[in-house]
Amino acid sequence: MHSKSWIHLILLFTIICGCATHRPATIQQDNKAKTFAIYSGKANIYVYRNEMFAFASKLPIAFDGKPIGDLGAKTYFFFVVSPGEHEVICNSENESKLKLTVESDRNYFVWVEAKTGILTLRSNLLNVDEAAGRRGVEECRLLLENQ
């Protein structure tokens, strides 16, 4: 096989894998998460990707060591958590990790930045302020965790 054929085969495989099924939440669940309401003594963590770059590719997300699902363009995950240490991991071409020390009665926002990699996407996880995080989440659709 010619090298160009291999590149086309790899790109096709990446596109097919990137189109894996994800579980969108209902509009009601999405709207409820976007109220940014916090349960007393708990905190909210929003993990979002509000860009269209590489829209057909998904980035696998794990939360506190548990695989959650694949984050696509304009989507987010939402977690209600207890105060303490939490970790978000994105296993793309590189492994991005972000540890958060969470206090009760607060919202936290993790922006998953997609970047060009050699064969697939690379990622960067950034803890952003509430104003930027809310704007980013508003542009996105809630996904449910894989069961």
Per-residue confidence of the chain (147 residues) as pLDDT tens digits? 544 444 444 444 444 344 444 678 899 999 999 999 999 999 999 999 998 665 557 888 999 999 999 998 899 999 999 999 999 998 876 788 999 999 999 999 999 988 765 666 778 899 999 999 999 999 999 999 875
Q: What does residue 19 show for φ and ψ, rounded to 5 degrees?
A: -95, 20
pTM here? 0.81
| Number of domains making up the chain | 1
Q: Look up the domain containing 8 and give its range.
A: 3-142
Is residue 26 assigned to a domain?
yes
Q: What is the pLDDT of residue 9?
A: 42
In a domain, 13, yes or no: yes
**What's the alpha-carbon Rg for the chain, to the nearest Å?**
16
Residue 147 lies in a domain: no
Q: Is position 73 within any domain?
A: yes
Flag whether 39 is in a domain. yes
Residue 10 belongs to some domain of the structure? yes
Q: Give the amino acid at 65.
A: G
User: Helix, strand, coil proportions of the chain in percent (round to 5)?
Assistant: 20, 45, 35
